[in-house]
């Protein structure tokens, strides 16, 4: 038997099976009846009062002087060491936690979980807001214990 008749037989049999196995579509009234029946079987439930979210732990302060600054450009690369030949380990966010540690033309910054990185000193600028109104300051509050992110605050 050639391939074409075999293919025709397979397609016909598949079509018969598909038409025989159609989904049931109960009416809205039937769904309401089934729901009421299930609710009667499981009975009333008292879940109690809503549980309040646990309070967030205060940020863990960073050691040494850390200043809130801005990178020169968006997506400014940061490096594992104080060199352009060092491994790129990420990009600088819109505000960076800058330490007082420098090495030549490089400045050390604090990233998530207290990890350190390096950025060219020329690419570190005074902090400027991209969202807040003019005149707002930025300070580094520390590391948030729940996820290790650097926390910044914006006192007036």
pLDDT recorded at residue 17: 52
pLDDT recorded at residue 115: 96
pLDDT recorded at residue 133: 64
pLDDT recorded at residue 13: 62
10-residue mean pLDDT series, the chain (156 residues)? 66 57 81 92 87 90 94 94 96 95 96 96 92 74 94 86
Q: Name all domains of the chain by residue range, CATH numbers in brackets.
A: 66-153 (2.30.30)
Measured CA to CA in angstroms, residue 37 lies from 24, 28, 44, 46 at distances of: 19, 14, 13, 19
pLDDT recorded at residue 54: 84
């Amino acid at each position: 038997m050639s391939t074409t008749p075999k293919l025709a037989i397979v397609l016909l049999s598949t079509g018969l099976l598909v038409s025989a196995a159609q989904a049931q579509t109960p009416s809205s009234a039937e769904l309401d009846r089934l729901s009421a029946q299930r609710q009667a079987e499981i009975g009333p439930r008292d879940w109690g009062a809503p549980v309040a979210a646990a309070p967030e732990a205060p940020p863990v302060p960073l050691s040494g002087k850390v200043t809130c600054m801005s990178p020169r450009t968006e997506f400014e690369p940061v490096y594992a060491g104080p060199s352009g030949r060092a491994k790129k380990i990420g990009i600088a966010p819109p505000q960076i936690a800058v330490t007082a540690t420098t090495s030549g033309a490089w400045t050390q910054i604090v990233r998530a979980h207290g990890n350190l990185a390096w950025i060219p000193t020329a690419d570190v600028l005074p902090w400027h807001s991209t969202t807040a109104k003019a005149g707002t300051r930025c300070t580094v509050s520390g590391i948030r214990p729940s996820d290790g992110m650097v926390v910044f605050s914006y006192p007036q």
